[in-house]
Homo-oligomer: A and B are copies of this chain.
């Protein structure tokens, strides 16, 4: 199970590979939020999202012989690109199983990063069976997107960096708002903060209608979403919190925060005008929570992640047209 020792070991393996993202801020955002807002822009990470950290952590943790046979992942988005790049950097093959209706751009990017993309029909084919057959045939290792200890450890390195930067600024108590899908990022950050900044508390942020983590934290047990598609925040929509991530979140995280899709788009427009950053809708929910749920946050400072920036131009243009 992931612990702080694993997170520190992941940080060592990521050093010189993952970007050490800065903390950004804007007096204009501080004014909206009513407190100082510190933004961790993982959209600037390699492949445009934090997922590269967990993928590189997991691929680098494999023993050399296992790794040499290659890795496999199921993903239509950010995890796919993270695994593809990490595998290419080690010179090992990667296979990504993607739905045939995934955005062309994401398929092309994943291929361009060196992965073999295997498409399946959502309606008629069983992706797990396809993946199992390929893994057995080639000896590939499955890299899960969040319910995998070394992936959680890799995402936790973001928490180490936030803790270090907060200490340098003398901030010892604050909420850390995290864009939350399956909970790999949230639980990893929570573990890192527990060790290095115990007065900082991770809180998952989700879009309305897909608030499984918030409801699970409230009830104390894993709750499912009624649906898992139809959200602009697709990058962070999962059926339910992970079996490994939820116990960590239950032990360490503060209450979840939930924002509307329009608030996420509005936050994207503010990230554009005030931070000069490109956020994807799911990557903007924590910024939206900091700005538009200020009454649910305590203290004179708040930290948050922008978890990714892989957004199609038409969605981004729409966010600007409506909210910039």
A interface vs B, CB < 8 Å? 19-22, 24, 27-28, 41, 43-44, 48, 109, 112-113, 269, 272-273, 275-279, 309, 313, 316-317, 320-321, 324
**Centre residue among A269, A313, A321 by max chain B CB count within 10 A:** A313
Which residue of chain B lies nearest to A43 when distances are taken between CB atoms in the complex?
B276
Whether B24 pairs with A22 at a CB distance below 8 angstroms is no
What's the nearest-Cβ distance from chain B to residue A308, in Å? 8
Q: Which residues of B contact A27 (CB under 8 A)?
A: 112-113
**CB contact under 8 A between A276 and B273, given known A22-B44, A112-B27, A320-B316:** no
Whether A48 pairs with B276 at a CB distance below 8 angstroms is yes
Q: Chain A binding site: helix, strand, loop or mixed by DSSP?
A: helix
Q: Which residues of B contact A316 (CB under 8 A)?
A: 272, 320
Contacting residue for A277 out of B113, B273, B277, CB 8 A: B277
Q: Which residues of B contact A28 (CB under 8 A)?
A: 109, 112
What's the nearest-Cβ distance from chain B to residue A270, in Å? 11
Q: Which residues of B contact A272 (CB under 8 A)?
A: 278, 313, 316
Determine the distance from Cα of A41 to Cα of B22 in the docked complex, in whole angstroms. Answer: 12
Determine the distance from Cα of A112 to Cα of B28 in the docked complex, in whole angstroms. Answer: 8
**What are 22 inter-chain pairs, A to B, with CB distance below 8 A?**
A19-B22, A22-B22, A22-B44, A24-B44, A28-B112, A41-B276, A43-B276, A44-B275, A44-B276, A44-B277, A48-B276, A272-B313, A272-B316, A273-B313, A276-B278, A276-B279, A276-B309, A277-B277, A278-B278, A313-B320, A313-B321, A316-B320
